[in-house]
Amino acid sequence: MRYQFLTLCLVFFISAITANATPIAANPDDGEYQEQLKAHFAKKGIDISPYFEDERFEIIETIKKKFTRSAEVKIKSLDDYKKVLRYEEKKEAAASFYAAYKEPLAKAEKEYGISQEVIIGILGVESAFGKYKGSYNPFNAYVSMYAKGYRKKFALAQLEELLKFTQRENLDVLALESSYAGAMSYAQFIPWSINRWFVGNDLYNMENNIYSVANYLAHYKKVTGSIEKAVLRYNPSSLYQQAVLALAKDVEPLTE
């Protein structure tokens, strides 16, 4: 009886606490984020409801981990970073890429003042010269960041830029491909960069990507004062910078 009494008291005590407890905040995945985003874009005259209803829309549950556990965060040495990048494969592929795009590379160098070797370095590291475009969707990526509370302001700003771009170019936003960070095409531009430095209308035209990389780097070379610092504006990781510049150095014999 004593144990039964204690058990009943404990049950009553827990029930009382539960009844008077402050409700737990709603999970951001419960649809509240959709209403917030719908209201935000409605003020801009954009109805994004159909995107949420589309079967291609999905939340990337592990979006935060993809950023916090990226190679640039986890890896400490350039040698290990190069292994993850498959650097030697990119180095070997550079010859055929240069042969195929020798003229636009030379034109970009002349017009923007950025060496074709550095342009090759960027495109090699970013997408293996067009081999990789990303396996995510930029709308899903940025909505996921917003929903999960990871870099919400950045995600919202990129969503605005993304929809500006897709509306201007009359594109299906959910048909686009990107990295988990929402970076698109062979140059891996985020929407903000696309709207400012992408040259041409076709995202998947390699010549456009070559000119766009040069255009972007030319801007930041002027801002920062050096090509080394400009590359860091592409990706703030020193390992990334070193890999790009190493690849640029390795392809110099091709362009001589």
> Which tens digit of pLDDT belongs to each residue from 220-251?
999 999 999 999 999 999 999 999 999 999 99
**pTM here?**
0.85
Q: Is 121 contained in some domain? A: yes
Number of domains in the chain: 1
Q: Is 242 contained in some domain? A: yes
Q: Is 114 contained in some domain? A: yes
Q: Is 252 contained in some domain? A: yes
CA distance 40 to 34: 10
CA distance 156 to 249: 38
Q: Is 32 contained in some domain? A: no
Give the burial string for 39-76 (b: 16+ CB within 10 Å, else e). Answer: eebeeeebebeebeeeeebebbeebeebeeeeeeeebe
Q: Is 38 contained in some domain? A: no
Q: Tens place of pLDDT for every residue, the chain, 256 residues?
A: 433 333 434 333 334 433 433 333 334 456 799 999 999 999 999 999 999 999 999 999 999 999 988 777 788 899 999 999 999 999 999 999 999 999 999 999 999 999 999 999 999 999 999 999 999 999 999 999 999 999 999 999 999 999 999 999 999 999 999 999 999 999 999 999 999 999 999 999 999 999 999 999 999 999 999 999 999 999 999 999 999 999 999 999 999 8
Task: Decide if 128 contacts 247 (C-beta within 8 A).
Answer: no
CATH number of the domain encompassing residue 245:
1.10.530.10
Q: Is 150 contained in some domain? A: no
The pair phi, psi for residue 151, each rounded to 5°, is: 50, 55
